[in-house]
Structures are given as structure tokens and as C-alpha cells.
Amino acid sequence: MLSKRKINKIKLLNNKKNLRLDKFIDLALYERNGYYLSKKPIGRKFDFVTSPEISQMFGEIIGVYLLYHWKEKINSKFNLIELGPGNGTLFKDIERTAKILPNFFENADVNFIEINKELRKIQEKNLNYFKQSKIRWSKALNFKSKLPSIIYSNEFFDCFPVRQFLNDNNQWFEIYVKFNEKENKYYSINKRVISKKILDYLYKREKIYEVSFSRNKYFEQICKYLKKNRGICILIDYGYNKKLKNFTLQAIYNHKKTSIFENIGKQDISSHVNFNELIEVAKQNKLQINEFVTQRDFLIKYGILERKKKLITKNSNLNKNLLDEEVDRLINADRMGNLFKCLVVSNL
Ligand SMILES: C[S@@+](CC[C@H](N)C(=O)[O-])C[C@H]1O[C@@H](n2cnc3c(N)ncnc32)[C@H](O)[C@@H]1O
């Protein structure tokens, strides 16, 4: 939970001037006692369940994809970087899959980019059997190594704070947050956009526009790094590449949607990733777009249905219905299949 001091700081800021939406989200997620610094959010018992937590097959498919690209295009020492590893489940599944190609981990310099100390402890515990000495943890990406890199993430880019704009009668407005002392609650207000830079950016955009400049900047750093030292980045997240009808910012508390103004510091706030923005950044940096597909198409293309069959044939003790349900949850178009997208960029 946000400390009283921090809540007071938000209120104070709001009393003096309105707080831009992304700054409010940033405080709620990343300040001392903010959600991502203090909570253990992932897993069936917690706020949300992610694809690696749903089925081992998710990590196995990603694993095979990484192995193939390393073997075919790198085949030497490299950085293996996971952004926001959560409970470490995805890595664990990749590590098990890589047993078919032992050279992969012998050549890997493994980096975990993790901001949450509690999750880092869980990652250390979950990776007991993997040589922890081979893993380096950092809070932020560092771009010192000159080795080629394989960078991957699941549900990482949705965490970045967004700004929201709307156009009414040819005038652009931005969402800000204000605190009402009397009613003791936060609420949003629209403020006219006057910055020429932002107005130029919004020119010809849809009437509702949500953007995370910090997300774009983070991804741009990755693209520049890959461009310079070679490599590939695979990112999976919920998101869109079509016009927005409504803003996508959402808060989740104990598996239920809530208002972003409730449970501050105790609940997850995220937004759907605007993939057009990321693709644009990759193109500007002259990277190849290897894949931009739905999670459903990615997992089917790279063999999740065959993997399921193989698991069932190999182990008659496995509960077939459970496996069917897990795969359905990941690939069904009405569940995670279409909402989640997979973007792969590279210069290999
Ligand atoms: C939604 S969780 C996804 C976890 C995991 N990838 C999975 O699929 O289960 C987001 C992860 O990113 C981490 N994280 C969020 N923002 C971060 C940041 N700015 N820098 C480093 N890690 C961050 C969180 O602590 C958490 O491990």
C-alpha cells in the first residue's frame, strides 16, 4: 500500500495543480510502497494469472522459438534477457526445454530485469536447480555488453503508465487527476492541450488516443541496442493495432476490475499495448518485423496443439481435460487468443 506520506503527496500535488494521468499511475505503481514495489501480484491466489502460470506449454513454445533463433542466427555467446520475469515460471519452462540443446545455456549470459524485490526472492527460490550464479538481476536494462541479445517478455509492456487524449470539436483534451478533499476521493478532469509538440503528435490521430511515451522510449532503447549489437526481441502482451473505441486503462484487484482511483498502491493498473506505436519505433530503427500475430496464431504456428498431444501420449496420468482447458484459455479467440499479441523484431 502507498504510505500515508505518499498519498498525502499525491493529494498535495493535486491540490496545488492537477496531476497528469501517467504521473498518477507512476506513483501508484512504482513509488516506495507502490504496487509493483511491494506486492506479489501473480498467481492463481493473487490479482491475476498470466500465460506461463496457466500452462507449461506456453513457455515450451517460446523456448523452442528462442532455441531455433539462437542456433540458426547466433550460435555463440549471447545475452538472454527476460523483462519482468514475475514468478520465474516462463524462464523455468524455457530452461527445461533447452535441455535438448545444452549449448544454449552454456553460451547464455542470463539477465533478469525485475523491479520488485519480493518477486526477485520468488524467482531465486523457483530457480533453485538452475545455477543462480549464472543469473544477473537488475532493475533496469543496461546496455554495456556488446554480445548479441535475445530479449523476451510476457505482460511487461502493459505496466507502463499511459496518457489519454480525446478530441472534442476539433480541440484536444488530456485526462488529469484531481483530489477532492471534501469528498476524500480522486476524480479525472479534462484539460485542454496547449503544447505544440503534443498537438503535432496528435495531428491526424483518432479521436480517442492512449499512448505511453515511457513504454515507447523503453522499447526504443531495446531497438537501438539490438541494431548495434544484433539480436531479437520477442514480446507478448495484451494489446491492439486498430482504432480505439474506448480507453483501455484498467485496474485489477483480487481478479476483479475496479476503478484506478481505488486501493491505491494495492492494485494493478495496466493498459493494452498500442502495438502500432512499437512497430513504428522498430521500423524507425530499421529492425525487421519478424512476427506480429495474435497469441493464438503464434502458439498454433509453433506447435502448441502437437505439444499437447505429445504430453498426453507420453504421460497417461495427465488429466486430458485439464490440458484441453489450459490450451483453450491460451488460444481461444474469445479468451486470451486474440487479445494477446506477439511482436518479434530483430536484426539477425
Ligand atoms: C504483469 S507481471 C508479468 C510477470 C511474468 N512475465 C508473467 O508473465 O507471469 C509484470 C512483471 O514486470 C515487473 N515490472 C513491472 N514494471 C517493471 C519495470 N519498470 N522494470 C522492471 N520490472 C518491472 C513486475 O514486477 C513483474 O515481474
Q: What is the pLDDT of residue 48?
A: 72
| Strands laid side by side in the 256-258 sheet | 256-258, 250-253, 268-270
Q: How far is the CA of 272 from the centre of ligand 1 (A)?
A: 15
- Going by C-alpha positions, the residue among 30, 28, 82, 72 that lies closest to residue 52 is 82
- Closest atom of ligand 1 to 270 CA is 1
What are the pLDDT digits (tens) for 319-345?
899 999 999 999 999 999 999 999 999
Residue nearest to atom 16 of ligand 1 (CA): 159
C-alpha cell at 100: 535438448
Beta carbon of 155 within 6 Å of any ligand 1 atom: yes
The ligand 1 atom nearest the CA atom of 84: 12
**H helices of the chain, where?**
4-16, 21-30, 35-38, 51-54, 56-69, 89-97, 103-106, 117-126, 196-202, 213-229, 275-284, 295-301, 304-314, 320-331
* CA separation for the pair 307, 302 (Å, rounded): 9
Q: Whose CA is nearest to atom 1 of ligand 1?
A: 155
Distant-in-sequence, close-in-space partners of 285: CB < 8 Å, separation ≥ 6: 220, 223, 224, 226, 227
Q: What is the pLDDT of residue 39?
A: 65
Residue having the nearest C-alpha atom to atom 18 of ligand 1: 115
Q: Looking at residue 89, what is its pLDDT?
A: 95
Domains in the chain (CATH in brackets) are 41-158+226-249+295-340 (3.40.50.150)
Polymer length in residues for the chain:
348
Q: Report whether residue 159 contacts ligand 1, using a CB cutoff of 6 Å.
A: yes
78 touches 69 (CB < 8 A): no
Full-model pTM: 0.93
Question: pLDDT, tens digit, for every residue of 226-251?
Answer: 999 999 999 999 999 999 999 999 99
Ligand 1 near 47 CB (within 6 A)? no
Q: Of 91, 104, 101, give the one whose Cα is nearest residue 130.
A: 91
Query: Closest Cα to atom 11, ligand 1: which residue?
Result: 84
pLDDT of residue 181: 81
Name residues of the chain where pLDDT drops below 50: 1
Q: Which residues does residue 240 pair with via DSSP β-bridges, in sequence order? A: 274
| Residue 85 Cβ contacting ligand 1 at under 6 Å | yes
